[in-house]
Structure 1
């Protein structure tokens, strides 16, 4: 668990991130409505593809923010202290997150 008072890489773009997630939420509700209304399966699949693409875009942005903020900060601290373990931890976190995205 991470400190709740920390500033993360996405913090500067938090409003834009929340706006994107709200749009994705609306898309998901729209797909549910399409299913309720018995819409054509290919049209539903097309919308699902758009949702997946939007989620991937948000995910890649978060990975970029993690690397650009958290990993870079850990590298700077490692350079000052000589302790590479926090940097290794952040790199491992990024690698694991990317692995989860690829599944």
Structure 2
């Protein structure tokens, strides 16, 4: 197994740790019988944070791993890779 360390990984880990803290807060809110609207709002924030981290990880993988594997490309292949990067933003 090769190491897959990228410059973005520490920032992504920081985002996930922040989301983890928010999730713990949501659990506490539920245990304290807080209003469902407040809980749902916080769950939405946790979900968004995880989604953002996932998107950043995927984009980083495309930028560093896939492009390195593909190597130098012609114009047609470059356009396909750019389109692929664009569509992955909607994951």
TM-score where L is the length of structure 2: 0.73
Counterparts of 1:39-54 in structure 2 under 5 Å? Answer: 39-54=34-49
> Alignment partner of 1:12: what SS?
coil
Q: Which residue of 2 aligns with 1:7?
A: 4
The answer to whether residue 3 in structure 2 is matched with residue 28 in structure 1 is no
| Structure 1: runs of 5 or more not aligned | 80-90
Classify the secondary structure of the residue corresponding to 2:4: coil
Shift of 1:46: 0.4
For structure 2, list consecutive stretches of 5 or more residues without a partner in the other structure.
Answer: 74-80
Q: Any runs of at least 4 consecutive aligned residues in structure 1 with deviations exceeding 3 A, and if so which? A: none
Q: Which has the higher contact order (CA 8 A, sep 6+)?
A: 2
CA distance in 2, matches of 1:13, 1:66: 10
The answer to which of 13-22 and 23-32 deviates more is: 13-22
Residue of structure 2 equivalent to 1:75: 70
Name the TM-score, length of structure 1 as normaliser: 0.66
Provide the aligned C-alpha RMSD in A: 2.2
